[in-house]
Amino acid sequence: MNTLPDTISGALILSCIDFVLSFIFISFIGVILYFFPKMNRLGEIKEKKN
């Protein structure tokens, strides 16, 4: 397994990878949420508690 160098450049590489991937993952969640209203066509669940 490749390891990040324990140097400033390692910190910079890790920060860049992490920051970009955070945006990608969060955007992915956002895209999934964008389609959530569509599932309401499947039916509804009553709000009443048992």
**Site residues, other proteins (CB under 8 A):** 1, 4, 6-8, 10-12, 14-15, 17-19, 21-23, 25-34, 36-37, 39-40, 42-50
| CA separation for the pair 50, 45 (Å, rounded) | 12
Report, in Å, the least distance between residue 48 CB and other proteins.
8
* CA atoms within 13 Å, Cβ hemisphere of 43: 2
Report, in Å, the least distance between residue 2 CB and other proteins.
9
Report, in Å, the least distance between residue 44 CB and other proteins.
6
